[in-house]
Amino acid sequence: KLFVSHFMSHGVTPKQYERILQKATKLSFKKGHILVRSGDKLDKVYLVAEGATRALVLGRFVTAASTNPDTKGDQKAGGDSGAWIGEMAFLDRLWELEQGKTNEASKKVAEAAIYTIVCDEDCTVLSWTHEDMAELMGSSTDLRSALTRAMTSALVGKVVNLTVSRTQHGLPHWSTWLSDWGSNSSAKVTLRSESQPRLAEDKQSNRPATA
């Protein structure tokens, strides 16, 4: 189910998905646990595999950065954009490292979280360090492209869902909450095929993984 909803449509093959899971740390949290607090340094990428979360910023509930039964599937214009957490910080860091704009000292400083993310029910969450996610992306061109699409889709989905929510409910403009988007991190991620190999498993068709 997780493969189909968050990976397959972006070009991740079943074999690649197995590699992604092998690099992940599986975490379990009880309802009420604060997964990420606004202002915390984001040095990991999270994907909510099971359960529901609630995102809060400036005292407001933000559906676009939350995941629950009402956001899953195609129920929201921007999809289940809140299932991914910390993807913008990772993509921004990856771009900086590859462009040589990050020195050794600043490599240890991660971008601060915009939202506070609270578990609305018991949750199962997959977590990757920036180093592990970068290693996955560096292993092949196809996997890099697919993971970039998956995370960029979540970023775009957040903007779409925030904009729709503002239109429907008269909330403050999403730019007041996402001022860090000014640099458009996702647009800075480039795919450099000449430096990365293609593995045999990358050429497989995107068939759903069997249970």
Residue 177 near residue 58, CB atoms below 8 Å: yes
Amino acid symbol at 54: R
Q: Kindly tell me the sign of the dihedral angle through the C-alpha atoms of 174, 176, 178, 183.
A: positive
Per-residue pLDDT of the chain (211 residues; tens, 9 = 90+): 899 989 999 999 999 999 999 999 999 999 999 999 999 999 999 999 999 999 998 878 888 788 877 777 665 665 677 899 999 999 988 887 777 755 554 555 567 888 899 999 999 999 999 999 999 999 999 999 999 999 998 888 888 877 776 565 554 444 444 444 444 444 443 333 334 445 555 555 445 444 3
Strand partners, 28: 124
